[in-house]
Amino acid sequence: MTRRQFAQATAGMAALGATATVSAQESPDYGGWFSDVSNFEGTVDKRGQDTVEVTVGAQGNNGAFAFDPPAVMVNPGTEVVWTWTGEGGGHNVVSDGDGPLDSGSLVSEADTTYSHTFESEGIYKYVCTPHAGLGMKGAVVVRPGEPSGGTTDSGSQPASETETTASAASETAASTDTNSGGETGQQQSGGGVTGPLGTFAAVIAMAFLSPLAFAALLRRRTDD
């Protein structure tokens, strides 16, 4: 691996760590609503957008029986548009209990849409009525504010930290191009550091820049 390839790989891994899910401090209490929803990985923060799209009939719950994302957070006044994939048979969007959502009869045609504009704060739970028992459930959380850019429930890095890491890795890539002619050590004709020195430098830099990228490098070294 050359120095530039290493730095570019680090930047890519750091960027992937940045998410737009709600931080643990802001995470709504769904009361176990998503306990049987296989594709639920946290509430996706879509605040700041006028229109938000949710896919109906996405892959999940052992088939095309999911909403994607299953949980979104939006600002008051946001229009949420549900778009059908045409997979998994007939689906609908209906509020759980007393709520404003009702797309009507079951639809299986792709690109069908249903929309609702949420004006009041709250948590709006909904289901696909024939597939609710399979876990085809969703929720729209209406809350004022700006996107949190926080961590996922599984512990990804905050966006600010990963953006800094990605920026640092990009700068490293640029600096290695500039300084490659003046460095010493074991090098290939293309300017990449090889051998034990290169491996040690890559591991140290990876550990410093991003734990996620460090783990990826270790897995790659093991495979090699």
Q: pLDDT by residue (tens digit) across 9-52?
A: 444 444 444 446 666 667 899 999 999 999 999 999 999 999 99
What is the pLDDT, as a whole number, of residue 35?
97
Answer yes or no: are the C-beta atoms of 5 and 216 closer than 8 Å: no
* Identity of the residue numbered 113: T
Pairing assessment for the beta strands 78-84 and 122-127 based on DSSP bridges: unpaired
Q: Is residue 144 classed as helix, strand or coil in its secondary structure? A: coil
- Give the model confidence (pLDDT) of 187-208 as tens digits: 344 444 445 555 555 545 544 5
Q: Mean pLDDT throughout 201-219?
A: 50
- Of 148 and 174, which is predicted with more confidence? 148
Report the C-alpha gap between 167 and 160 in whole angstroms.
11
Query: What residue has token string 């401090």?
Result: 25
**What are the tens digits of pLDDT across the range 104-128?**
999 999 999 999 999 999 999 999 9
Q: Which residue has the tokens 């890559």?
A: 202
Q: Write down the pLDDT at residue 2.
A: 55
Centroid of chain to Cα 103: 27
* pLDDT for 18: 40
**pLDDT tens-digit readout, 43-94:** 999 999 999 999 999 999 999 999 999 999 999 999 999 999 999 999 999 9
pLDDT at 201: 54
**pLDDT for residue 148:** 75
Position 186 pLDDT exceeds 80 = no
Specify the pTM: 0.60
